[in-house]
Amino acid sequence: MTEKELFTVVGIRPEPPAPKKKVKRLKGFPWISGILLALILLCCLFAELLMTKEPGYLDLQNFNVAPNGEFLFGTDTLGRDIFSGIWYGGRISLTIGFLATLISTLIAVVYGSVSGIAPGWLDALMMRFTEIFLSIPGLLMVLFLQAILGQANVLSLSVVIGVTGWASIAKVVRTEVRQIRNSEYVVASKCMGGKFPHILRKHLAPNFIASIMFMVVMNVRGAIGSESTLSFMGMGLPLEIISWGSMLSLSEKALLTDSWWIIIIPGAFLVTLLMCLTNIGNYLRKSANRKESNL
Amino acid sequence: MSEILLDVQHLTHVFRLDKHAVIKAVDDVSFQMKKGEILGLVGESGSGKSTVARCIMNVYKPTGGKILYRDIDIGDKAQLRKHRKMLESLRQIIFQDSTSSLNQRMTVADIIAEPMSIHRMRPARGSLRAEAEFQLSYVGMDASYLDKYPTELSGGQRQRVAIARALSMEPELLVADEPIASLDVSIQAQIINLLRHCNREHGCSILFIAHDLSMVEYLCDRVGVMYRGRLVEIAPTAELYANPRHPYTKALLSAIPIPDPIAERSRKRIDFDEVSFDRDGVLTRIAADHFVLMQEEV
């Protein structure tokens, strides 16, 4: 007799083997946005292979040149090649976007979970604080913090955008944790001896990740947008650090000289990227809501 | 058989609703459980059965009284800390609602292996997955269910997964909080047989909470009856069913339908008069192992 036979319970009806389930994923995925986003990401990642010129080189003989065979997207008022700058600067923009989002998501998950499992009064205190935080305009806070930190660079800008953008994610995390924390599987896990990190990782996080995914993607979008806004206003990255924002900051001069390519090209890339992220975020939000359940 | 595993002494638990209203969910309940015994706990909804179970599992902190598990006072912080690991692996609980007691986002294999991975146990059968497969076959399901999610299973299958999870730690005490309440009759019988098998073959003690009196009669060695937070009567099953003493127990037993239409027609239901219920009695011994809540005789 094998071990299996030894342990069989008399009277139990064997279950018929479960039919293999069909995997049906990515339904309604915005393919065009996905492919465009992947393309932009890849091009920025391998910018060195694509660049025809040194992106920071000031070619003073060829400034304000319209797009042509040599300068595919033209040059800006300082004589820098825009085609090379787009890929090279996209890297900076995306880095800031992802780094800032990473920082704010991390803060939001920790803050939200703590608030979610905290006793009522502490939870109320923490949530009122986030509301006060949310009521201050984000851009104002970013400007303020950046002024304290001094001259902006990639890291400081990411940190500043990151620490100002966590509040709304934290609220969602907190609500989800509140709902789950008293469910029986969390109680069961506690009975088995599961500690807080285990419960957060195994039970809480998988349940709120779907609902914050949309906000996280939107946060990337917001961070890239903030960087551009700041740079455009001349308070973000300095001109010599190439990013899509700092490229756009030349546009006021470009307007005077009728050089449309300086505004349109980086702007078009920015808008395309933000739109792709929005579409993917929307898809994630829908699929989180569609969460199948036959209970 | 005679070693005492669990000793509940004057357990009281009060839920505070707001500043003024309190609910006495469990009021001065005392009983003992021997090793290898199946103790049934019956009573109507809201009589405090589940609260007793949750106090025993350290989910709720009792307002008053003591719970001794193998002479460890589990209400005492220092003793609890010292024996925490042992207690967490030896006591396991099964909930009534298998839908909410299993995380929908975990596969069956992960659910069953969860206690083992929490305690970082070295699986006896190679991997955690093999262990989960074994436990699953023990409750009558095959390996093809390992990668399914709880939503893809039926209620009976989910409850069996919950039992497999509890059994994976080879518990000494299994607290089953209405494990069959939401299942249909044929599945109920399977679960009952499964619990019986665990008890007979592996010597696991079971605190079985239910409101189905015929299932309790079939499964349990001793039965306690609860009403409004009080334990009104506790006795060996045969004794209790043959010779109920407390008026509430009598009323409860008279409500069991008889599977014989002729006898059923003449069955008389005894109504229990709620007003006459006397909370202040004392659990008094009237026969060898038979205790009834009654007024102390002066």
Chain A, 15 to 34: residues with Cβ < 8 Å from chain B are 15, 17-18, 20-21
Instruction: Determine contact, residues B108/B132, Cβ cutoff 8 Å.
Output: yes
Domain count, chain B: 1
Determine the pLDDT at residue A66.
72
Return the percentage of chain A with pLDDT > 90, whole number: 8
User: Between A and B, how many CB-CB pairs are < 8 A?
Assistant: 104
What mean pLDDT value characterizes chain A?
80
Instruction: Determine contact, residues B151/A295, Cβ cutoff 8 Å.
Output: yes
Q: Find the range with the poorest average confidence among A76-90, B52-66, B168-182.
A: A76-90
Determine the pLDDT at residue A153.
82
Instruction: Determine contact, residues A219/A235, Cβ cutoff 8 Å.
Output: no
Secondary structure in 3-state letters for B166-208? HHCCCCCEEEEECCCCCCCHHHHHHHHHHHHHHHHHHCCEEEE
Return the percentage of chain B with pLDDT > 70, whole number: 98
Convert the pLDDT of each residue in B262-278 to its tens digit: 888 888 777 777 777 77
Return the percentage of chain A with pLDDT > 70, whole number: 88
Give the mean pLDDT of B277-281.
73
Structure tokens at B115: 């206690």
Q: Residue B179: name the closest of B169, B199, B194 by CA.
A: B194
Convert the pLDDT of each residue in A144-171 to its tens digit: 888 888 777 888 888 888 888 888 889 9
- One of 1.10.3720.10, 3.40.50.970, 2.60.40.10, 3.30.2000.10 is the CATH number of A71-288, namely 1.10.3720.10
Suggest the residue from B86, B93, B105 to mutate for an interface test with chain A (most A CBs closer than 10 A): B105
Give the mean pLDDT of B99-116.
86
**Cα B280 to Cα A210, B289, B298, distances in angstroms:** 53, 21, 14
The B-side interface with A (CB below 8 A) comprises: 57-59, 84-85, 88-89, 91-93, 95, 97, 99-106, 114-115, 118-119, 134, 137-142, 144-145, 148, 151-152, 157, 165, 169, 189-190, 193-194, 197
Kind and range of the H or E element at B294? strand B290-294
Structure tokens at A200: 């957060």
Nearest residue of chain B to residue A295 (CA atoms): B151
Sheet strands side by side (includes B230-236)? B91-94, B173-177, B205-210, B38-42, B222-227, B230-236, B290-294, B282-287
Closest CA of chain A from B103, distance in Å: 6
Q: Which residues is B64 bridged to in the sheet?
A: B12
Domain limits at B164?
4-294
Whether the predicted pLDDT of B38 surpasses 60: yes
Alpha carbons A152 and A78: distance in angstroms, whole number: 21
Determine the pLDDT at residue A146.
84
Alpha carbons B65 and B229: distance in angstroms, whole number: 14
Determine the pLDDT at residue B1.
47
Determine the pLDDT at residue A129.
92
Convert the pLDDT of each residue in A13-41 to its tens digit: 666 666 665 555 667 788 888 888 888 88
Determine the pLDDT at residue B296.
65
* Cβ-Cβ contacts under 8 Å, B197 against chain A: 9-10
Alpha carbons A191 and A185: distance in angstroms, whole number: 10
pLDDT higher at A237 or B7: B7
pLDDT higher at A224 or B220: B220
Q: How does A120-157 read in b/e, with b if 16+ C-beta sit within 10 Å?
A: eeebeebbeebeeeeeeeeeebbeebbeeeeebebebb
Q: How does A200-234 read in b/e, with b if 16+ C-beta sit within 10 Å?
A: bebbbbebbebbbbbbbbbbbbbbbbbbbebbbee
Taking chain B, what is the end-to-end CA distance rounded to the nearest angstrom? Answer: 36
Convert the pLDDT of each residue in A243-261 to its tens digit: 877 777 777 777 777 777 8
Alpha carbons B270 and B250: distance in angstroms, whole number: 7
Instruction: Determine contact, residues A88/A47, Cβ cutoff 8 Å.
Output: yes
Instruction: Determine contact, residues B198/B167, Cβ cutoff 8 Å.
Output: yes
Convert the pLDDT of each residue in B206-225 to its tens digit: 999 988 888 888 889 999 99
Determine the pLDDT at residue B170.
83
The CATH number of whichever domain residue B147 belongs to comes to: 3.40.50.300
Determine the pLDDT at residue A288.
66
What mean pLDDT value characterizes chain B?
84
